[in-house]
Amino acid sequence: MLELLLCSLLTIIPDYLYRRYAQGKRLGREITFYSVWYELRWGITACLMLTVGLITVIFYNHPSTTSATLFYRTVPILPETNGRVAEVYVGFTGDVKQGAPIFRLDSATQAAAAEAARRKIAEVEAAMVAARTDIVAAEGRIQEARSAYQQALDELQTKQELNQRNAAIVAAREIERLQNVVDGRRGAVAAATAAKDSAEVQISTLLPAQKASAEAALAQADVELAKTVVRAGVSGRVEQFALRVGDIVNPFMRPAGILIPEGAGRGRLQAGFGQIEAQVMKVGMLAEVTCISKPWTVIPMVVTGVQDFIAAGQFRSGEQLIDAQQVMRPGTILVFLEPLYQGGLKGVTPGSSCIANAYSSNHDLIASGEIGNVRSLALHGVDAVGIVHAMILRMQAMVLPIQALVFGGH
């Protein structure tokens, strides 16, 4: 409508003034309701053509969209294991800090495994004490065996010396018996030494390895026990948390709830512009938005990112070929908008629907002097008509609450 009124000032009104004052025709006489088209045909035709051209220039160079939303990320509250809820620490809604417990699953099995691992560690420690006692006992047996061996060896050497002096004094059978006793006592010393070495190996290698295995089992059991307490991965707010004691939670089939991270949806806005504006949308463009959750307010924004892919064209590999006709609706260019001033989105509820305008600026190109006067004048006109879109946005901001409350049936 604004474009039509603006174009009529340059076409229909001059045509009427010419016919009124130059040709002397008057309203209600020569210019009647039935003769308007014939009398003002040149102005009406030029007005329509100029309006179509102006709308095309405005909407192409200063794109607008009603598909603008403050999207925000949600984090599913999921345990790492199946189980029955034993305790819930938060209500239906509320703020939680990172690391704060949300709910706890029944942990009888995990607690039993942890207790068994502790008992195993205590058992190994007791075995280490017993091994140290065995070492002391083995040292006593080694000393005893060495003393008996030395005694038998001394007696054998004495008998052998007497036999060398006089063979009739000591019988050969006696010397053989003493030699066997010495050999036996030597074997007893070796056995006692081996028993000590075995106890030392147990206390230095085997039992520490068993204790390390038991401690690893305890650590694993503690990890499994800790998994039964589900904690907040990030600070945020729990909404619509209906989980109660006795419910079964499955990480693959039934999430426990939703956690909205702190500050989610309050930093930037995402808008989908038409594909025809892909060459116009650039990072750094100024923009304006008005949101239904904050009526009668126009928020200045700036384009901080333009997604280089259209979501409607994505596909996953499967067993069927892709048919282009399956894409029923053309996708949009996803554009990221951030407030031009700090706190610009304050008061806008995350998830709110908004209307966004983006404005092209050719000032740098005009100031560079690389283009001719005609093109420079045309680009000046393109930048100037952006005010029409700005006026339309402000009219939409004024009408939006009325449209939602009165004509929307709410």
CATH number at residue 365: 2.40.30.170
Q: Are residues 275 and 379 both part of a single domain?
A: yes
Compute and round to an integer the Cα radius of gyration of the chain.
Answer: 47
Q: Are residues 143 and 292 both part of a single domain?
A: no
pLDDT at residue number 1? 67
Ranges of residues in the chain with a pLDDT under 70 are 1-3, 149, 152, 154, 156, 159, 161-175, 178, 182, 327-328, 408-410
pLDDT at residue number 168? 58
In a domain, 32, yes or no: yes
pLDDT at residue number 355? 92
Q: Are residues 276 and 338 both part of a single domain?
A: yes
In angstroms, the first-to-last Cα distance of the chain is 27
Q: Are residues 96 and 111 both part of a single domain?
A: no
d(CA 205, CA 197): 12
Q: What is the pTM of this model?
A: 0.69
In a domain, 19, yes or no: yes
Q: Is the dihedral of CA 362, 364, 367, 369 positive or negative?
A: negative
Q: Measure the CA angle with vertex 299, ends 294 and 300; round to 5°.
A: 170
pLDDT at residue number 114? 87
d(CA 182, CA 169): 21
Number of folded domains that form the chain: 4
pLDDT at residue number 368? 83
Q: Are residues 135 and 35 both part of a single domain?
A: no
Instruction: Specify whether the backbone of 351 is left (phi greater than 0), alpha (psi in -120 to 50) or beta.
Output: left
Q: Are residues 124 and 240 both part of a single domain?
A: no
In a domain, 279, yes or no: yes
In a domain, 321, yes or no: no
Tokens (6 digits) for 109: 């099995």
8 Å CB contact between 297 and 401: no
* CB environment 87-101: b (16+ within 10 A), e (fewer): ebebeeeeebeeeee
Q: Are residues 196 and 255 both part of a single domain?
A: no
pLDDT at residue number 165? 67
pLDDT at residue number 298? 92
Q: Which residue segment(s) compose the domain that 384 sits in?
A: 63-72+265-313+329-404
8 Å CB contact between 301 and 269: yes
